[in-house]
Structure 1
Amino acid sequence: MSADQTSLGEMLAATVPLVRTLNLEFLEAGPDKAVLSLPDQAEFHNHVGGPHAGVMFSLGESASGAVVLAAFGDQLSRAVPLAVKAEIAYKKLATGVITATAALGRPAAEVIAELDEGKRPEFPVTIEIRRADGAVTAEMTVVWTLRPNG
């Protein structure tokens, strides 16, 4: 992991207490894609022995936030990134370590151009959550906005 990825992970862990609580690990964080993993932790299991649905949601939303910060961190002086809505589909039982891969759904330049025009741009981030065997356990989309300051 690069120094930028480490500092992004450290920043999220410092500012978002749930990231620390869940012990999320930042494997990759760039302006197009972010990858986070959740260790297998019994205290977060559900009644069937996998991570609770809310924990999986939090992993996916955190991965989406990481890609948003990597893509738009240089815009924070003029806009605040906010999640607008989210949807998740649970596909298979998640067991063991699970990994969320988030991808920016629109080119960052398009989003910034809308911000430059005085608009409040919205953009999707898609997330896949997988088990160690590669099976997709959940698919998620979080729609984000950049809310202009002031």
Structure 2
Amino acid sequence: MSDTLSPIGEILSSTVPMVRTLGLEYLETTAERAVVALPDRPEYRNHVGGPHAGAMFTAGESASGAVVIGAFGDQLTRAVPLPVRVEVTYTKIARGQVRATATLGRPAADVVAELDTGRRPEFPVEVVLTREDGAETGRMTVVWTLRPNS
């Protein structure tokens, strides 16, 4: 599936208070990829004038969640998606708007097949953080699981 799933951004914006607090904008949401923009606002800046690491983390985690909903939204009646662990690396000072681009790191069909066996699958979502000039400012790997409903 590669068509943009526009309701995902709308749903997350209306149901996740932190998304509204930071004013995150969902620029693209598909089952394979999501792009989220963190606006450049003075109240989000750190001691060197760039976006605070926590705000960038939230943009990245939110982009990863959009991919998970896009890929596994049809599984929500039987499993809850949850982040398990995150590794983040900040490589350059960000300035201005930051974009978080997330991509599913494992075929969705493989994850669902594992869920079908009764196991609790884990799968990575890779996130690249970039500033307005396109320079990469960081990377994240968010490992998610689909926890079967009891």
Unmatched runs of 5 consecutive residues or more in structure 1 = none
With the length of structure 2 as denominator, give the TM-score of the two structures.
0.96
Q: d(CA) in 1 for partners of 2:47 and 2:53?
A: 11
- Could you list the per-position Cα deviations for residues 75-99 of structure 1 after superposition, in whole angstroms to 9, with x for gaps in the alignment? 0000000000001000000000110
Q: d(CA) in 2 for partners of 1:133 and 1:19?
A: 24
- For residue 126 of structure 2, what is the aligned residue in structure 1? 126
- For residue 98 of structure 1, what is the aligned residue in structure 2? 98
- For residue 138 of structure 1, what is the aligned residue in structure 2? 138
Give secondary structure in 2 for the equivalent of 1:36: strand
The sequence identity of aligned pairs, in percent, is 63
- For residue 37 of structure 1, what is the aligned residue in structure 2? 37
With the length of structure 1 as denominator, give the TM-score of the two structures.
0.96
Q: CA deviation at 1:13?
A: 1.1
CA contact (8 A) 2:30 2:71 kept: yes
How many aligned residue pairs are there?
148
Q: CA deviation at 1:3?
A: 7.4
- 2:138 maps to 1:149: no
1:1-150, aligned counterparts within 5 Å? 4-5=5-6, 7-150=7-150
RMSD (Å) for aligned C-alpha atoms: 1.0
CA contact (8 A) 2:27 2:37 kept: yes
Deviates more, 1:8-17 or 1:98-107: 8-17
Which amino acid is 1:4 matched to?
L
Q: d(CA) in 2 for partners of 1:15 and 1:117?
A: 31
Give secondary structure in 2 for the equivalent of 1:130: strand
Give secondary structure in 2 for the equivalent of 1:125: strand
